[in-house]
C-alpha cells in the first residue's frame, strides 16, 4: 500500500466547479426576486411568509385593581402632560432662558478671574527691585 498514491486531485477538480455552481444558484436565487419584483411585491411576499410562521396565544383575565394599574398610570401621565401644556401656554415666551443667563454670568466671572490673575502676575513682577522672571533668592550672580 505504500507504493499506491491516492488520487485526491480528481476529487478537487470535480468539487470546485460544483461548489461554484451551487454558489451561483444561491446568489441568483437571492438577487433575481430583487430585480424582478417591485418593493411593494417584496413586502407582500414577506408578510405572507411571516404571517403563517408564527403561533399566537391569547388569554383573558378579568379586570382587577392590579392588572388595570398600567392603564391608570397612562391616564394620569396624559393628564399631567395636558396640564403641563396648559401651563406652558400661559407663560410668556421669554427671549432669554435661565440656562443662557447663567452661561453669560459664568463667562463674565471667568473673564473677571482671568483679569485678576493677570493683575496679580503684573503686580508680583513689579514689586521687587529686580525686574526678572526668577526672584532674587534663586538667581546667581556670575560677575
Domain hosting 36: range is: 12-48
Beta carbons of 125 and 118 less than 8 angstroms apart: no
Contacts of 130 by beta carbon, 8 Å cutoff, 6+ apart: 136, 139
35 is a domain residue: yes
- Candidates 21, 18, 1, 2; CA nearest to 10 is 18
Residue 17 lies in a domain: yes
Return the top range by mean pLDDT from 7-11, 66-70, 85-89, 139-143.
Answer: 85-89
Domain count, the chain: 1
Asked if pLDDT for residue 106 goes beyond 80, the answer is: yes
Residue 30 grid coordinates: 437571492
pLDDT at 54: 67
Q: Model pTM?
A: 0.29
| Per-chain mean pLDDT for the chain | 78
Calculate mean pLDDT across residues 44-71.
76
pLDDT bracket for residue 62 (50, 70, 90) = confident
Distance CA 34, CA 28 (A): 10
Amino acid at each position: 500500500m505504500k507504493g499506491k498514491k491516492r488520487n485526491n486531485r480528481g476529487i478537487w477538480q470535480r468539487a470546485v466547479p460544483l461548489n461554484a455552481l451551487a454558489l451561483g444558484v444561491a446568489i441568483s436565487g437571492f438577487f433575481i426576486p430583487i430585480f424582478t419584483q417591485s418593493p411593494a411585491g417584496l413586502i407582500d411576499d414577506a408578510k405572507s411568509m411571516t404571517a403563517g410562521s408564527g403561533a399566537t396565544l391569547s388569554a383573558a383575565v378579568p379586570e382587577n385593581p392590579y392588572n388595570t394599574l398600567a392603564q391608570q398610570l397612562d391616564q394620569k401621565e396624559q393628564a399631567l402632560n395636558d396640564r403641563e401644556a396648559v401651563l406652558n401656554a400661559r407663560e410668556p415666551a421669554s427671549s432669554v432662558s435661565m440656562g443662557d443667563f447663567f452661561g453669560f454670568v459664568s463667562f463674565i466671572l471667568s473673564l473677571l478671574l482671568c483679569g485678576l490673575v493677570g493683575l496679580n502676575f503684573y503686580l508680583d513682577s513689579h514689586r521687587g527691585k529686580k525686574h526678572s522672571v526668577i526672584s532674587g533668592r534663586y538667581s546667581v550672580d556670575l560677575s
